[in-house]
Amino acid sequence: MQDTKKTAKKKRRPLKVMMSTLAFAIACLLTYDSLKEVFTTIQLKQNIEASEQELAQIKKDTKELKTEKKNLEDPDYVLRYARGKFMVTKKVDGEQVFKLPSKDK
């Protein structure tokens, strides 16, 4: 009777080892997949933040460009801009342009 119990235990032991190994492998696989998802989520959040900052900058640039476009449609603004930036003179008044040294030099 003792011998039959020992042989029965010996037969069950490899099955227990195999099931334990399989359970451990599945647990490792699930842990790996979970960690991979966590890192992917973190990376996506960083990408979203960067995209939101870029979007905010684009909106700011768009607003500035719309303002500039509106200003360039005004002939008085264009005249003042050309006179200041490109030193355009009025020929009617005999105006002269003098370039003064800047404070930086």
pLDDT digits (tens, 9 = 90+) for 70-81: 999 998 888 888
CB atoms within 10 A of CB 64: 10
d(CA 13, CA 5): 12
* Torsions phi, psi for 88 (to 5 deg): -80, 135
Contacts of 89 (CB under 8 A, 6+ apart): 83, 95, 96, 97
Structure tokens at 45: 């959040």
Q: For residue 82, what are the contacts with CB-CB under 8 A and spacing of at least 6?
A: 88
| pLDDT at residue 54 greater than cutoff 80 | yes
Whether 2 shows a pLDDT value over 60: the answer reads: no
Average pLDDT, the chain: 86
